[in-house]
């Protein structure tokens, strides 16, 4: 027996084509192929482990996934409690609101004449089109909503809960915002100003002085307090961006005030960025351990793939196999209607951190 034989014990199994396989069965076979196919299969297994464990699962959503057709996948994950907290870019929430209000996105082409599109007031997101005039009606609708709120600071979590409520009452349609409202799942949007939701809030302030006041620092305190209350956490990230860092930052900030926090226990990310340019979106999960964002013994995997390819596979496989786990799952229970959120009956303030360890005093 040669020394190298200790490495050669699990053979690659060529993928055999067979009709009638479900997504879970396809992913099970992909565990024995290579590259991102195997990583995607590993991501599926890790997500199942999250659902089996007593952890709070954060979902980060960046890019243009709502405009790209994944909004109802995310709404399903929220409504069925595959995740417990969404951290999203404002654009994803805005494009979700756009369709929940009855508007559409349209199949387009990346080879379009953009000057001709501009003349017809059509906005392009790669191969997807939207009507600028419909966007303007959304902005006005958001401004009118914001003008009805109390003239005081709101965390994005509180503001978006109220927005989801108003959207549900207005439309009765499924979407990310309305599913989160109905399932009592908090949404944070740390870069809300960098979106058309932020533009709508600014228009509200133009109409009504004092309207549209968002407390983004309160988001940091509130998200960290969530983790202080429930220190065992997991992270699912689609596309990197601000949501990825905000989820990880919440864990680091919580650990500053509570010694019980030790980084996410599980983490999977589906990203197209790469680590060697130094950007946060492409940073590896191994790098995150150096910051204390992930536990050193965490179960983790990075899938280098487009989320519009990977997420439908994962969600379809989970829908087949995860329902028994969901039925037994000890998911956190939130109340979100008031200014102060609660989790499992414990208050989650947005104005101060709740616990201090001796080294932080």
What is the per-residue DSSP string for 198-225? HHHHHHHHHHSTT-S-B-HHHHHHHHHH
Residue 88 and residue 243 in contact, taking contact as beta carbons nearer than 8 Å: yes
Handedness of CA 278, 279, 283, 289 (dihedral sign): positive
d(CA 328, CA 83): 14
Q: Report pLDDT for 345.
A: 97
Q: Is the pLDDT of residue 2 over 80?
A: no
Q: What is the mean pLDDT of the chain?
A: 95
Residue 234 and residue 329 in contact, taking contact as beta carbons nearer than 8 Å: no
pLDDT tens per residue, range 68-123 = 999 999 999 999 999 999 999 999 999 999 999 999 999 999 999 999 999 999 99
**By mean pLDDT, which of 74-83, 215-224, 290-299 is the weakest?**
290-299
**By mean pLDDT, which of 134-143, 236-245, 280-289, 312-321 is the weakest?**
280-289
- Taking the domains of the chain in order of start, what are their residue ranges? 23-355
Residue 57 and residue 324 in contact, taking contact as beta carbons nearer than 8 Å: no
Residue 339: C-alpha distances to residues 47, 216, 361 (Å): 32, 14, 27
Q: Report pLDDT for 354.
A: 87
Q: Residue 116 burial by CB count (10 A; 0-12/13-18/19+): exposed, middle or buried?
A: exposed
Percent of the chain exceeding pLDDT 90 equals: 93
Q: Report pLDDT for 359.
A: 45
Pick the CATH number of 23-355 from 3.40.50.450, 1.25.40.10, 3.40.50.1000, 3.40.910.10: 3.40.910.10
Q: What are the two backbone dihedrals, phi and then psi, of residue 161, each rounded to the nearest 5 degrees?
A: -65, -45
**By mean pLDDT, which of 4-13, 154-163, 174-183, 317-326 is the weakest?**
4-13
d(CA 88, CA 92): 7
Active-site positions? Answer: 293
């Amino acid at each position: 027996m040669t020394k190298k034989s200790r490495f050669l014990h699990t053979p690659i199994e060529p993928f055999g084509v067979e009709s009638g396989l479900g997504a879970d069965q396809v992913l099970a076979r992909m565990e024995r192929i290579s590259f991102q196919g195997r990583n995607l299969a590993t991501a599926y297994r890790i997500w199942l482990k999250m659902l089996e464990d007593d952890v709070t699962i954060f979902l980060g959503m960046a890019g243009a996934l709502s405009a790209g057709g994944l909004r109802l996948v995310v709404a399903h994950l929220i409504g069925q409690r595959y995740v417990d907290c969404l951290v999203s870019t404002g654009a994803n929430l805005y494009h979700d609101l756009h369709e929940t209000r009855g508007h559409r996105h349209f199949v387009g082409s990346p080879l379009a004449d953009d000057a001709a599109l501009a003349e017809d007031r059509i906005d392009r997101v790669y191969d997807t089109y939207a009507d600028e005039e419909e966007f303007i009606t959304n902005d006005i609708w958001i401004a009118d909503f914001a003008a009805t709120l109390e003239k005081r600071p709101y965390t994005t979590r509180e503001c978006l809960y109220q927005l989801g409520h108003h959207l549900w009452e207005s439309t009765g349609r499924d979407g990310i915002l309305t599913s989160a409202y109905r399932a009592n799942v908090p949404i944070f949007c740390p870069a809300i100003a960098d979106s058309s939701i932020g533009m709508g809030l600014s228009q509200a302030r133009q109409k009504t002085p004092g309207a549209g006041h968002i407390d983004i620092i309160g988001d940091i305190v509130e998200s960290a307090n969530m983790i202080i209350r429930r220190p065992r956490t997991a992270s699912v990230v689609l596309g990197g961006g601000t949501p990825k860092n905000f989820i990880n930052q919440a864990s680091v900030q919580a650990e500053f005030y509570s010694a019980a926090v030790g980084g996410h226990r599980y983490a999977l990310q589906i990203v197209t960025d790469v680590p060697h340019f130094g950007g946060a979106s492409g940073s590896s999960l191994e790098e995150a351990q150096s910051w204390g964002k992930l536990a050193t013994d965490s179960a983790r995997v990075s899938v280098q793939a487009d989320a519009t390819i990977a997420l439908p596979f994962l969600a379809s496989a989970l829908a087949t196999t995860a329902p028994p786990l969901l039925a037994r799952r000890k998911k956190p229970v939130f109340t979100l209607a008031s200014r102060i959120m609660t989790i499992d009956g414990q208050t989650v303030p947005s104005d101060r951190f709740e616990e201090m360890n001796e080294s932080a005093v």
